[in-house]
Structure 1
């Protein structure tokens, strides 16, 4: 059997526990959690910008610009230096995480990955473009298990959170007097609060040094890092947060808040920005800084410093990261197959780095569209261009900025359609930025992105249309954040302009407010139209049983592939999705909201990326969740690109037929079983499909007896059922006794004759013990004579999961089921039977859409295999 999952049977419906009200509400709300989170984020963005508008109500936009231009060069240089120091400290996070896992990776590769991950994560700050996705793709390429990558990401996240709390505690304790007035709180209270945080930190360190070294909550337990590693990590966090705070501090005007106190304020502002789930904490961070520092300094100077801080600490590293991966792409192309690991790493990182830069520059174009250009530039343009060209360029570039934000999602998923759209849009934006306001710096940044896209062309190789994508709640939140921010900026810039309907129809070089108003309206209309089309358009996803012609086409494709499991397509019980070139296909089924693809795509690997993307988008468009069941480890990066997470499902047993025989002490038990079966009158035969047709009645009889004896139901999806047409379409291995067929197994092969496996295994109730073992041995020896290389014994579910105390929750839960679930399924017996043949164990995974529980995914697969809930409760 391909996976040997008959069912995780529940003993009796009466044993089921009535769910509580909390569990019911949780079940109802869980599918809506991303949308609820996005809606909450939108509310936060609106409220924060309303609060900022009140805080800066008396500030003049021109004063902010004057302060910005008056910033000393030494302050900018110092801010750049502190930014470099902060990012250097950030690389220690990944280094510490790898030491915590006991993995050694050369520091240049770790530093490159960490730098790009933080450059992306700091700027985007939301799901599809997070630094975690960069780490997953990169470390997975180095042979890391998905659980190990998840532990790296978890370590980095937790270390930052704990370190941020510790830095806040230090600031509150030793700079309480400086913070008292801005926060309107007594210094004693601040010292007590800071001291309490430090005591908790010290307790955690002491527990790591002198306790059992583990910490847990609600049954979850993880090992703590060694004390030395904890100290090194906290030192790195202290340097990181202090340096990042110093970037803003040197740009701020002189205040009564010293650097130690400001570090505490900065830490709180960063923490609130992260907790808000708003991309990059935009608005939340600014609100905290203005509310605290603005009490003792000029607000226009604080605003100027915040703008420069965003450009230096967020924009510059992103541009540097883009330059690095672009240079690596060029050097890798020149080096060819001899490219170093670092150069190959750059290729893996470039799509998400460039996607984030595209997103950021799209936001810049939208914000640029609602702010006025310098009068000198407009005067120059008025002598060179007709007014309609300038007006059109201003309006089109603003809408194009929104387009770049949408295109960024396709770039993150390596779509070739997104690459073409980005090249055209960025090229047009370079020209429009010059035509609208001679925006030199803006056009230079866009030109750099254009060059980077050309250099990284080979990485955008997924043949899928950009229009296939449907915006997720996270992307809708990002777009809304940009638009709300643009609206807040526009109202601030033109706060002295009285609104009237005539503004919409004023077209003059000097009339900037009407131009910005029209640009914002164009962005809002474009965003609303695209969101409505994305959410409401009819799904093109196909469901239902395949036509005979489609099954025949799929069989032709799998005949040229090495893995025979895909012969399950012959059952006709799974929907088929073909690639655009009709060279590959996915077979899948639906259970509730889960769209479950069986195995990796079948067909040439070059067709897989676009097909995976198409399936994920099709499931999402229909309100479902995509998953791939039983995928191979070498293909996990493809699913990571599609925003999916992988969990180990078990291990498949594969026998090397070239080295398989019955000689030697290790195979003594197999040899004795084989000889005993022959003495008991058993004989083996492999029937071709035409011979199977002649014996189909005998096979049907045996199948009926087997089902009755085991009180079992036919399974579906990842297992075949006894359908006469299905059985007659393939060879069958049979065992005879006294000339009568007493056992059989259907054999799955492909035209390449590299690998074989079996599906249905049925036998009469009174067959001698060891009959199926005799069938397996005989079949493998026969296939070896025919020149086959491998025999797949199928998967042992939940075997091979990590026994380490540091294993993630999924592994520990799976191990518990494996060790104590014999009442429901013969886990140990199945693995022990396969182990007799001394196979090579290869991991198999389930890849699920982000946010989906692996336990829920496996439950849906179980129901799908069992043919419904009745099949789960029964057999």
Structure 2
């Protein structure tokens, strides 16, 4: 690969979108991440000022005074909330008319919410969990997108409805707390409820509403009502978790429900991971006048543990149980185990992230005096100081390694096992932290039980952290600093604190831990940000082309012969028995088709491609992939969007007999009467007619005012044309039309790439040429013929279809002036093919439109080529 910096693409972005627009488009993800960090910083400052009169000892005391009955009630309400959350997915699947076994849905939904509630960002989102599990259960990307859209929309609307209803009831009670007249609060709640009522009325009976060119089919009233009950029950139960943990106050449950709903909503809108800090700030600001702030803080800590950590532990236990040998023999357990194998890496990744955060935060909080007194009799001060400092650094290492665990890296598995074992030992040496040690032991158990899942031999340290993970690390560091200043706010700062080493002096210990975490975080961020600049990809070498062609010949994918065009780069698998061919446009690395090679090599090859693209500062895109690729893409964190449908003719059933073939039969008869003759020229003989073929190609390009394409289409390159058989039509001994026939040694599939006709070719020559090629391949023993893809064909028109499908369907119906979508579909339909969906898969945070535009420009040779045809 060339190291030359590709400044041309950056210049094109600036020209096409303007200077400011180009900068915003190019660095949108980074700017959003920076905004999230700034928001969190302001929130952290607000919390610090809101708790000016609160002391750490008071919070610990409030925690210790929490009644066991309150904790048991909180656990009960947590169970009820997660039980309701499962029915979000059940209702969504029923709405899109898909049925899956309830145990699979329950495990997937429970795990998705356990991860989503806890991590709340990027690769660890609930949507990623659903893609991984439901793609394995046979749902298409469109179906999964509709499920995610349903649960997201239903939660958002339900949250707004519940919060507004509660606000109507307690507006007079809530107003004085926030300095707003109760009338205005009721008016605000009434407006929200009116909007929701209008939506409910417009969607009665599952009607479709249209706003301009955008249309959306809403769920019917029965679905709305049922889902509202589920959402209301979920929000009420989750609010009750925190409510029963709070001490008695003058605020009733209805009033608290409104506060809770608003806090959750603002936490989601803030884009801060898990709403951390934002949720707490709202609760403290609104309840601080009615409840002691120290008690509120203690309850919030306990709430996070009960509602976020415990469900995650339960999800890991449930999946780990299916991994144990004694459960595998039962068919039902074996089925759930296959789904669990998709979920376990993400569950353990999230749990490792949590434990890393726990180690960091424990390094800036004091050790109980009784524990320190006990340790001082047996452990030297130097050991305690070292254990405290190293434990904080291990926490950050675990946070970083958690990402690799989610990607099933064996190196991340080893790093986390070793880190957890060492941290477990240090947790006992530094503070006799039994709970901390128990959690670490549980992580080790989960890692050992699921060892077989982490089999990707990729380097953990050669990967740059994504913007989402860097944002999370920044939030964690800010939290650590805020906790440090909160805990030791009564300690007067002096430079000498850094050099104090005594059993009783814990503020210096926390200062040194924060400094170590900050330095290590800065080093990790610098390493990730100073990654190589985007480089221009070098075309594949002759040796690479020969190796790729040898692989193509052993597999039945005719279109893979496009690798012979030499206009794409090639990435081989570790064993060299599979490859991906790809090109680059803008910041997109675009892989063409499924990887070519044995099925077992494809998942690792997909991971390597995604990681290599990311390390180069680019996004990974897969263009025209089959449904078989979707699970591997979901595992790698890619989202799939339907591109169209591939037409494949079953050659064993192809014969021009019967009524459905009448039109083609008549076309073929007319072509014979017009004097057209068909012949197949083998590769060794193509050189003798290459000049005639070139003349036909040039006349076709001139007649259509077109230029040669690339990437997913072949161009008239002599070496390329000479490599495969060519089907020709002759009239009066002169070639008037030709098509190169793409085949492999397996005789599984044939296809056609270049199709060129002279202006004087008789009408219907194209149909006749295809008929003759299909007949020739059938007689040669080929099983199927690939007619190529019909773009935007077969987009979903069902209820709650994804926006992508809606837009694609609209373009297919009304975009004839730009591209002959319907005409191309109609031409392929003449041959009565089977239609197979094809997809575009893009990295999680990338708009599919950007990726599709990059692919279009790559095929057309830039903007000019696309405009010119």
TM range (shorter): over 0.9
Cα 1:242/1:336, change in 2 over 3 Å: closer
- Per-residue CA deviation, residues 351-383 of structure 1 (Å, 9 max, x unaligned), is 211111111111111111111222222233333
Distance 1:233 1:544 in 2: 53
SS at structure 2 position matched to 1:105: coil
Instruction: Name the stretch that deviates more: 229-238 or 324-333.
Output: 324-333
Equivalent residue in structure 2 for 1:479, among 469, 473, 478 = 473
The aligned counterpart of 2:522 is 528
Q: Normalized against structure 1, the TM-score is what? A: 0.93
Cα deviation 1:143-165 (Å, max 9, x = unaligned): 32212211211111111111111
Q: Partner residue of 2:617?
A: 623
The structural deviation recorded for 1:762 is 1.6
Which digits, 9 at most, give the CA deviation of each residue in 1:389-440, with x for residues without a partner? Answer: 3222222221111111111222222333322322222232222222222221
1:92 aligned to which of 87, 95, 119: 87
Residue 449 of structure 2 corresponds to residue 466 of structure 1: no
Is 1:131 the counterpart of 2:126 in the alignment? yes
Q: Secondary structure at 1:335's aligned position in 2? A: coil
1:231 is matched with which residue?
225
- Aligned residues of 2:112 and 2:129 also touching (Cα < 8 A): yes
The equivalences for 1:781-800 within 5 A come to 781-800=775-794
Aligned residues: 856
Say whether the 8 Å CA contact 2:218–2:799 is kept in structure 1: no
Which residue is equivalent to 1:780? 774
Cα pair 1:539 1:618 within 8 Å, conserved:
no
Cα distance in 2 for partners of 1:490, 1:337 equals: 52
Residues 665-814 of structure 1: pairs in structure 2 closer than 5 A: 665-804=659-798, 806-814=800-808
- The 2-side partners of 1:50 and 1:113 are apart by 37
Match of 2:857 in 1: 863
CA gap 1:591/1:293 in 2 versus in 1, 3 angstroms: same
Provide closer, same or farther for how the CA distance between residues 863 and 186 of structure 1 changes in structure 2, counting only shifts above 3 A: closer
* Equivalence map 1:229-268=2 (5 Å): 229-268=223-262
Q: Which residue of 2 aligns with 1:45?
A: 40
Other-structure match for 2:277: 283
TM superposition shift of 1:650 = 1.0
Residue of structure 1 equivalent to 2:385: 391
Q: Matched residue of 1:841: which SS?
A: strand
User: TM-score, normalised on structure 2?
Assistant: 0.94
Do structure 1's residue 172 and structure 2's residue 167 form an aligned pair?
yes
Task: Give the one of 49, 62, 71 matched to 2:57.
Answer: 62
Greater alpha carbon shift after TM alignment, 102-111 vs 783-792: 102-111
CA distance in 2, matches of 1:867, 1:195: 55
**1:540 and 1:176 mapped to 2: Cα distance?**
55
Query: Is 2:487 the counterpart of 1:493?
Result: yes
Cα separation, 1, equivalents of 2:308 and 2:441: 19
2:534 and 2:617 in contact (8 A); partners too: no
Helix, strand or coil: the match of 1:802? coil
Higher mean alpha-carbon deviation, 132-141 vs 788-797, is at 132-141
Are the counterparts in 1 of residues 96 and 799 from structure 2 also a CA contact under 8 Å?
Answer: no
In the TM superposition, what are the counterparts of 1:35-434 in structure 2 within 5 Å?
35-209=30-204, 213-217=207-211, 219-330=213-324, 334-335=328-329, 340-434=334-428
**Residue 13 of structure 1: aligned partner:** none
- Where 1:57 maps in the other structure, the secondary structure is coil
Which residue number in structure 2 is paired with residue 842 of structure 1? 836
C-alpha contact 2:714 2:753 (8 A) present in aligned 1? yes
Deviations 1:796-833 (A, max 9, x none): 11111123363222222222222222223222222222
Is the alpha carbon distance of 1:141 and 1:541 closer, same or farther for their aligned partners in structure 2, counting shifts above 3 Å? farther
Q: Distance in 2 between matches of 1:741 and 1:710?
A: 19
Task: Name 1:12's counterpart in structure 2.
Answer: none
CA offsets 1:622-674 (integer angstroms, 9 cap, x no match): 33332111111121122222222211111111111222222322223333333
Counterpart pick for 1:612 among 606, 625, 630: 606
Asked whether the 8 Å contact 1:166–1:197 carries over to 2, the reply is yes
In the alignment, the residues of structure 2 paired with residue 450 and residue 776 of structure 1 have an alpha-carbon distance, to the nearest angstrom, of 61
Q: What is the rounded CA distance, in whole Å, between the counterparts of 1:572 and 1:38 in structure 2?
A: 39
- Report if aligned partners of 1:178, 1:256 keep a CA contact under 8 Å in 2: no
CA contact (8 A) 2:241 2:303 kept: yes
CA RMSD of superposed structures (Å): 2.4
Distance in 1, Cα, partners of 2:298 & 2:571:
54
Correspondent of 1:593 among 571, 581, 587: 587
**Shift of the alpha carbon at 1:124?**
0.6
The secondary structure found in structure 2 opposite 1:139 is helix
1:568 matched to which residue of 2? 562
Q: Larger relative CO (CA 8 A, sep 6+): 1 or 2?
A: 1
Residue 175 of structure 1 aligns to a residue in which SS? helix
Partner of 1:4: none
Q: Secondary structure at the match of 1:603?
A: coil
- Whether the 8 Å contact between 2:328 and 2:334 is mirrored in structure 1 is no
Change (3 A) 1:776 1:197: closer
CA distance 1:567–1:333, shift in 2 (3 Å): farther
The answer to whether the 8 A contact 2:729-2:737 is kept is: yes
Shift of 1:332: 8.8
Moved more, 254-263 or 458-467: 458-467
Deviation by residue 1:437-466 (Cα, 9 ceiling, x = unmatched): 222111111121112122223333434222
What CA distance in whole angstroms lies between the structure 2 residues aligned with 1:338 and 1:134? 21
Q: Residues of 2 paired with 1:567 and 1:21: CA distance?
A: 34
Change in Cα spacing, 1:865 to 1:337, as seen in structure 2 (3 Å) is farther
Tell me by how many angstroms 1:268 deviates.
0.9
| Alignment match of 2:445 (pick from 440, 451, 468) | 451
User: Any conservation in 2 of the 1:462–1:609 contact (CA below 8 Å)?
Assistant: no
Distance in 2 between residues matched to 1:719 and 1:249, nearest whole Å: 62
Is the 2:649–2:834 contact (alpha carbons within 8 Å) kept by the matching residues of 1? yes
How far apart are residue 265 of structure 1 and its match? 0.6
User: Among 816, 820, 823, which residue is 1:822 paired with?
Assistant: 816
Contact persistence 1:463–1:609 (CA under 8 A): no
**Does structure 2 conserve the Cα–Cα contact (< 8 Å) formed by 1:115 and 1:321?**
yes
Tell me whether 1:537 sits opposite 2:531 in the alignment: yes
In the alignment, structure 2 segments of 5+ residues that lack a partner are 1-13
Partner of 2:626: 632
Quick one: structure 1 residues 754 and 494, their matched pair in 2 at CA, closer, same or farther if it must change by over 3 Å?
same
CA distance in 2, matches of 1:218, 1:319: 47
The separation in 2 between residues aligned to 1:872 and 1:99, in whole angstroms, is: 42
Residue by residue over 1:202-242, the C-alpha shift from the partner in whole angstroms, topping out at 9 and shown as x without a partner, is 333333338x8334545422122221221221111221111
Question: 1:786 deviation in Å?
Answer: 2.6
1:281 positional shift: 0.9
Residue deviations 1:322-367 (CA, integer Å, cap 9, x gap): 1111112225973398754333222222121111111111111111
Query: Secondary structure of 1:466's partner?
Result: coil
Deviations 1:753-804 (A, max 9, x none): 2112111112322223333323322222222233221110111111111233
Cα displacement string for residues 700-741 of structure 1 (whole angstroms, at most 9, x for unaligned residues): 222222222222211111111111111112222223344443
Answer with 590-599 or 455-464: which moved more: 455-464
Contact 1:599 1:631 in 2 (8 A): yes
Partners in 2 of 1:40 and 1:208 — Cα distance? Answer: 36
